[in-house]
Amino acid sequence: MIHRSLASARLMRSRASFATVTAVLTLLPHAASAQQAAFDRTRPPALGATPVLTVPTVTERRLPNGPALKVVEHRELPLVQVTLTVAGGARLDRDMPGLASFAANLLDEGAGRRDANALQSELAFLGASLSTSANWDVTTISLKVAKRNLDAALDLMADVVLRPAFSAAEVRRQRDLRLASLMQAKDQPGTLAGLAFNQALHPDGHPYRAALGGDSMSTARLDSATVRAFYEGSIRPNRATFYVVGDISADEAEAALGKRFAAWRTSGPERRPAPVLAAAAKPQGLQLILVDKPGAAQSIITVGTTGVERTSADLAAIEVMNTILGGSFSSRLNSNLRETKGYTYGISSGFAYRPLAGPFTVSSAVRTNVTDSALVEIFKELTAIRDVPVSADELARAKAYLALAIPGDLESTSQIASELAYLANWNLPVSWLQEYVTRIEQVTAADVQRVARQFLPAQQGYIVVVGDLAKVRAGIEALRLGPVTVREVGAIARE
């Protein structure tokens, strides 16, 4: 009886569901037709007003031995992101370019009583991801793990930060891998273009001149003692900040990190950034640097000059201007050289923001037979945005593109931690983003034109082309953009 009753009930539900589905299917064509009639697919939908940006609340504390702690409760998922940054990065390399990034990569290649394989196996068992890296200004160790496995994963992270192995065998293995990578760089036009541009813009003594990965001469000198001395002088609690975001309170985060990092102490002399001995170059006029890659099907073009400090009062105007020029898929450069001319799969422009002014660059890979034509179009766009005010529609779209993208940068635990760490480079709180949105909304067409005239290399800068010079040199020189220098691959990327 009971079973029959259940079967009858299921049958009745099934019939009811079938009737419902039939009714919905009957109505759908009519609903779709009505919607189709009301929706004009020939025009993009109108954007509404920019919503008010809500930034996360950050609780700030400091561990007794020095590290700062910034916590954001983000309870949507049972996950916790722990990001540790240590100020310094490649600016501590001194006479050994690549040392900071090499040491950072070795942190998780064996730590505590575990070798690299054992460490990765335990992380995988916990479902945790842990990464280590160094850029120009900071070393970063990032951990993401489910809340239930946080304690065990933090034990591993503490080993990576406080007890890296730096075994002689692992240092040799990683050194050989890097040397092989540096040899391969000679065959990578994009890498060569970046190195040649950096070397032109940043003279000897500038902290951004050398590649983050160093060169063959500095890499060959790396050994376990050198890496450990760098670690002890640079990975120190007084330079550290923990960013903890996720299903965790500030009290929980402080207790968990205090348990594992309270004993972190400095050892040995502190390694400080080398003084900046030279400013980035500002050439008179345009200068061309050509690098020969016989047989190359494409030419790599980099056009650029010294950028601007991120603390500039014109930051919002600069970003709106760059969004229009080459900072978005619908930018002028991409629309012209990709969509209209078909010279390239993509072209972009952008400012690199660092504590010292980083470069502004326009970069693309174009077909060999249109290298000179691509340069003409690039300078056509660099000049146009300086000489002609942008339209109201173009300005509105660029402002919306920037303002509406910010909430997307604050969605996940790792994105929030990354944004907090990025802003900390300039001592900015996350609430600064609200001010930034307001500044974006206030940018005018005249602002765009003014910063374009001030910061774009339409008349002064470097043009680097890596390609088959037998096919492209004559066309480039015929443009008479400026004096030409030809550089050898071996002088740019030393093996």
- Residue 34 is predicted with a pLDDT of 56
pLDDT band at residue 51 under the 50/70/90 scheme: confident
Task: Dump pLDDT digits (tens) for 248-279.
Answer: 999 999 999 999 999 999 888 999 988 887 88
- More confident site: 363 or 32: 363
Chain segment 122-150, per-residue pLDDT in tens: 999 999 999 999 999 999 999 999 999 99
pLDDT at position 493 is 82
CB 385 within 8 A of CB 396: no
What was the pLDDT predicted at 32?
Answer: 52
Which residue type does 472 have?
V
What's the pLDDT band for 31 if we cut at 50, 70, 90? low
Name 72's bridge partners. 245
Between 2 and 320, where is the model more confident?
Answer: 320
Lowest mean pLDDT among 158-162, 297-301, 405-409, 483-487: 405-409
Residue 162, burial from CB neighbour count under 10 angstroms (0-12, 13-18, 19+): middle
Q: With CA atoms as reference, report the closest residue to 303 among 237, 387, 367, 359.
A: 359
The closest of 108, 240, 100 to 166, measured between CA atoms, is: 108
The tens digit of pLDDT for each residue in 455-479 reads: 999 999 999 999 999 999 999 999 9
How does pLDDT run across 387-413, given as a tens digit for each residue? Answer: 999 999 999 999 999 999 999 999 999
Mean pLDDT over residues 42-69, rounded? 87
Q: What is the pTM of this model?
A: 0.87
Residue 111 pairs in a beta bridge with 114, 164
Model confidence at 29: pLDDT above 90: no
Please report, rounded to a whole number, the percentage of residues in the chain having pLDDT higher than 70: 91
Residue 45, Cβ neighbours under 10 Å: how many? 8
Band of residue 4 on the pLDDT scale cut at 50, 70, 90: very low
Lowest mean pLDDT among 5-9, 38-42, 369-373: 5-9
Phi, psi torsion values for 396, nearest 5 degrees:
-65, -40
pLDDT per residue as tens digits for the range 177-189: 999 999 998 889 9
Q: Are strands 298-306 and 484-487 parallel, antiparallel or unpaired?
A: unpaired
Rounded percentage of the chain residues whose pLDDT exceeds 90: 79
Q: How far apart are CA 461 and CA 285, in angstroms?
A: 7
Res 6: pLDDT: 38
Lowest mean pLDDT among 13-17, 61-65, 204-208, 314-318: 13-17
pLDDT band at 293 (very low <50, low <70, confident <90, very high): very high
Predicted pLDDT of residue 98: 96
Residue 285 · residue 276 · CB < 8 Å: no
The three-state (H, E, C) secondary structure of the chain, written as one string: CHHHHHHHHHHHHHHHHHHHHHHHHHHHHHHHHHHHHHCCCCCCCCCCCCCCCCCCCCEEEECCCCCEEEEEECCCCCEEEEEEEEECHHHHCCCCCCHHHHHHHHCCCCECCECHHHHHHHHHHHCCEEEEEECCCEEEEEEEEEHHHHHHHHHHHHHHHHCECCCHHHHHHHHHHHHHHHHHHCCCHHHHHHHHHHHHHCCCCCCCCCCCCCCHHHHHCCCHHHHHHHHHHHCCHHHEEEEEEECCCHHHHHHHHHHHHCCCCCCCCCCCCCCCCCCCCCCCCEEEEEEECCCCCEEEEEEEEECCCCCCCCHHHHHHHHHHHCCCCCCHHHHHHHHHCCCEEEEEEEEEECCCEEEEEEEEEEEHHHHHHHHHHHHHHHHHHHHCCCCHHHHHHHHHHHHHHCHHHHCCHHHHHHHHHHHHCCCCCCCHHHHHHHHHHHCCHHHHHHHHHHHCCCCCEEEEEEECHHHHHHHHHHCCCCCEEEECHHHHCCC
Contact, 288 vs 465, CB < 8 A? yes
pLDDT at 281: 84
Specify the pLDDT at position 223: 96
In this prediction, residue 301 carries a pLDDT of: 98
Average pLDDT, the chain: 90
Length of the chain equals 495
Predicted pLDDT of residue 30: 53
Q: Give pLDDT, residue 9.
A: 40
Q: How many CA atoms lie within 13 A of 175 on its CB side?
A: 19
Residue 494 has pLDDT above 80, yes or no: no
Reported as a single tens digit per residue, the pLDDT across 74-105 is 999 999 999 999 999 999 998 899 999 999 99
The span from the CA of 81 to the CA of 72, in Å, is: 10
